[in-house]
């Protein structure tokens, strides 16, 4: 069975990225090995290990920009295994993220179920007043409680918009409950629903940019992409974004806004295939190219 005791830890990019200390880094990768009270597919707890292992196989030259991302000052922290108690886990992850953000470094967290986002985004909201959240996701994640917890993967955006008071723009949404629909109406939230995003028409990207504040935290739940792109995720929903649509969005946001931090979550390893973790690693690479 895969565990932190048996799986070798590989820094992001492996041997292709020059070793650099935390103090000297401009970019910090924070692996968050956490999964608790998920609603469907399981296995995201160890997903940071899978993504980091896949990152070792990537070429260092970005094909769109010809930027060598491996020469950036990147430091990968040791994986964090938070408490199994949700509120305690959120505090621990928030503290780890704050340590990075307080030193004005770019933070890329990799999880883990989507609950890993609550701590880092909350930390960013306190350290960077005026920051907003760009959520790429199939699900609204606006429930007030799920499976007995208010700090659950289904409650992420409720905690961030209601408790932390952060503005949010949701992209790729195609699954939500009556409770969530009522909350969106009450708060006048207008998601960019997946069914309204047409292939070959990127006008929606400009609308997303206009809706965001000047400083942004990007949270990417991998089920925001279509399952044909990333089948390895906890709750795959048909009709999601294509890989290229996501990359064009990241490129535009990075060009027009200041991106302070990001996270990638909800990856689940499918035995016998590496497509999901490798695609997730490539998305992380694109964040480093376009947003740092």
Segment 220-244, tens digit of pLDDT? 999 999 999 999 998 999 999 999 9
Range of 208's domain?
Answer: 14-291
Segment 63-111, tens digit of pLDDT? 999 999 999 999 999 999 999 999 999 999 999 999 999 999 999 999 9
The count of domains in the chain is 1
- At residue 33's C-alpha, the angle toward residues 32 and 34, to 5°, is 100
CATH number, domain with residue 287:
3.40.800.10
The pLDDT score that the predictor gives to residue 3 is: 54
Contact at 8 Å (CB) between 283 and 265? Answer: no
The pLDDT score that the predictor gives to residue 104 is: 97
Any domain includes 3: no
The pLDDT score that the predictor gives to residue 138 is: 97
Q: How many CA atoms lie within 13 A of 246 on its CB side?
A: 29
CA distance 29 to 77: 6
The pLDDT score that the predictor gives to residue 8 is: 81
Contact at 8 Å (CB) between 157 and 121? Answer: no
The pLDDT score that the predictor gives to residue 39 is: 63
The pLDDT score that the predictor gives to residue 1 is: 42
Could you list the mean pLDDT of each consecutive 10-residue stretch along the chain, which spans 292 residues? 66 94 98 83 85 97 97 97 94 98 98 95 97 98 90 94 96 97 96 95 97 98 98 95 98 98 97 97 98 98
The pLDDT score that the predictor gives to residue 137 is: 98
Any domain includes 2: no
Q: Is 249 helix (H, G, I), strand (E, B) or coil?
A: helix
Any domain includes 111: yes
Any domain includes 8: no
């Amino acid at each position: 069975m895969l565990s932190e005791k048996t799986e070798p830890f590989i820094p992001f990019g492996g041997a292709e990225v020059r070793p650099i200390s935390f103090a000297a880094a401009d970019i910090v990768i924070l692996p968050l090995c956490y999964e608790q009270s998920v609603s469907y597919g399981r296995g995201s707890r160890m997903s940071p290990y899978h993504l980091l292992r896949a990152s070792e196989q990537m070429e260092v030259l970005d094909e769109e920009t010809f930027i060598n991302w491996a020469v950036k000052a990147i430091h990968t922290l040791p994986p964090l295994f938070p408490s199994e108690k949700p509120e305690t886990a959120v505090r621990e992850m928030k503290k780890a993220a704050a340590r990075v953000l307080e030193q004005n470094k770019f933070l890329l967290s990799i999880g883990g179920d989507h609950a890993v986002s609550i701590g880092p985004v909350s930390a960013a909201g306190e350290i960077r007043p005026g920051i907003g959240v760009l959520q790429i996701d199939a699900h609204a994640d606006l429930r007030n409680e799920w499976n007995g917890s208010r700090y659950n993967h289904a409650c992420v955006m409720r905690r961030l918009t209601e408790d932390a008071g952060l503005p949010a723009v949701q992209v790729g949404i195609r699954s939500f409950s009556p409770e969530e629909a009522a909350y969106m109406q009450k708060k006048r939230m207008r998601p960019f629903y997946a069914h309204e995003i047409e292939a070959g028409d990127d006008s929606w990207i400009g609308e997303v940019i206009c809706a965001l504040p000047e400083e942004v935290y990007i949270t990417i739940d991998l089920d925001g992409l279509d399952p044909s792109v990333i089948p390895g995720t906890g709750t795959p929903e048909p009709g999601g974004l294509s890989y290229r649509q996501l990359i064009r969005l990241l490129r535009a946001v990075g060009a027009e806004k200041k991106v302070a931090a990001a996270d990638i979550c909800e990856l689940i390893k499918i035995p016998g295939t590496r497509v999901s973790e490798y695609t997730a690693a490539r998305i992380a690479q694109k964040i480093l190219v376009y947003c740092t």
